[in-house]
Structure 1
């Protein structure tokens, strides 16, 4: 996701009806309906009037990338823009060595030291929210 947020207008290639995006070398083709969604976004980029630099070359200026794209994708699939139902899941992930001790906990059920990743998605599987917390559980 961090690579997508850093994309500029120059990373989108529209040539002979094919839309590609430069995530690496060679550029990756963008399939329909995402290609149409991306071209619509280029025509009407949000936050250009309120951004620090209205002439910014960022493809996704501002901080609401996921919400804007999720709403457009939902409309393309025939759904309402805002979801009315979702699914919550959590996973225990082993913490890296660089993660401080205060940010880690212990999951007694999985017998794992690390963090919990809580994810909420809508009925299409589109991401609504991610939250990372320390595991909370009694040690055996």
Structure 2
């Protein structure tokens, strides 16, 4: 995985001054991914990784200079090309997820519908479920958050002309969202509605893509709750989780071993130990 991401990280020009770095980029990534996966505090990083203050400083630096964004977008292009798709998406899916917050901080509110005190993650994904745009805001409704997310989408991805959404983006007060997106952004927002004659859970076309995408980041304990005080840090953590996911895909690995392969490996090791003895 390191060989894939190494060329995408910023190179330092020593001719502009400064000395040699004490910690390399690979150690920075390992430290950030450790916090992301384990959910530990920065101060509790293992001693064989970077000092916590240096790791946090580099994570923040890459957030501010756009490194996480650039790496994430380039990896998404590579994953799409590897799957036989165009590098840039032409259609997307939008939805929102309410997440409880542990700390205080900015943009913290109450979602009356989900009865959740915290933040909302408004995300737009492509048809493969890969993140295209993310906005973390407070107790705003889906329609208001949708305007922010769609505006960011239109600014960064002129190739996207169709976005699927649920009925919450076209209800009551702000029913003008669809016409606004079409006229101002040249994006058609199509509502994927649930049929009235179906009871209980049902997988809806297109909608399941973004629901699956919500499940990917929260496998990382740091993202199961929102521990960050800044919304920009929350967005950077979500992108770091997607970067790790795409690196695993590009490397042809699996996020976790299957029970069967683990059992066979353990049995083979036992037999070899027995023969050697």
TM-score bucket of the superposed structures, by smaller chain: 0.5 to 0.7
Task: Give RMSD over aligned pairs.
Answer: 3.0
Question: Aligned to 1:76, which of 73, 77, 82?
Answer: 82
Q: Which has the higher contact order (CA 8 A, sep 6+)?
A: 2
Residue 52 of structure 1 is matched in structure 2 by: 12
SS in 1 for 2:25: coil
Distance across 1 between alignment mates of 2:116 and 2:79: 37
Question: Aligned to 1:91, which of 94, 97, 114?
Answer: 97
More helix as a share of residues? 2
Question: Aligned to 2:118, which of 114, 121, 126?
Answer: 114
Segments of structure 1 that go 5 or more residues without pairing to the other structure are: 1-10, 13-36
Question: Which of these two proteins has the greater Rg computed from alpha carbons?
Answer: 2
TM-score (norm 1): 0.55
Seen in structure 2, the aligned counterparts of structure 1 residues 105 and 47 have a Cα distance that, compared at 3 Å, is closer
Distance across 2 between alignment mates of 1:47 and 1:94: 32
Alignment of 1:1-140 (within 5 A): 12=2, 38=4, 45-46=7-8, 51-53=11-13, 57-58=24-25, 63=67, 64-96=70-102, 98-100=103-105, 102-136=106-140
SS in 2 for 1:114: strand
Distance across 2 between alignment mates of 1:65 and 1:77: 18
More strand as a share of residues? 1
Which stretch shifts more, 52-61 or 128-137?
52-61
Residue 29 of structure 1 is matched in structure 2 by: none
TM-score (norm 2): 0.30
**Contact 2:95–2:124 (CA under 8 A) maintained in structure 1:** yes
Distance across 2 between alignment mates of 1:47 and 1:66: 11
Q: What per-residue deviation string (whole Å, max 9, x for no partner) do you get for residues 85-121 of structure 1?
A: 111110111121x223x52111121222211111111
Distance across 2 between alignment mates of 1:113 and 1:135: 8
Distance across 2 between alignment mates of 1:116 and 1:95: 10
Q: What per-residue deviation string (whole Å, max 9, x for no partner) do you get for residues 10-53 of structure 1?
A: x84xxxxxxxxxxxxxxxxxxxxxxxx83xx55xx1465xx434
